Amino acid sequence: MEKILLEKNKWKNKNEQYLFELQKFLDLADNIENKDLKKLVINQMLKCDKCLTNIAENIFKNLENKTTFLEDK
């Protein structure tokens, strides 16, 4: 089950708090009148989100590997 949730960021995209905060950010960014600035701000946020997602997924994988290792003993 956990492996399925890790696929395609399902663990993140089913989190209501994350989705609420993402929508709030996008609503605020939508009010930026300068189109170039808006694009830069949104792109930078997406880069940060991807970085944090990768960090979290690595932590999940490490925890999964440790759990599997302990179960094998």
Query: Phi, psi (5° rounding) for residue 55?
Result: -60, -50
Domain boundaries, the chain: 2-72
> Any idea of the CA torsion for 26, 52, 7, 59, to the nearest 10 degrees?
-150
Burial track 44-66 (b if 16+ CB lie within 10 A, e otherwise): eeeeeeeeeeeeeeeeeeeeeee
For residue 1, the model assigns a pLDDT of 45
pLDDT digits 0-9 by tens, 4-57: 555 667 788 889 999 999 999 999 999 999 999 999 999 999 999 999 999 998
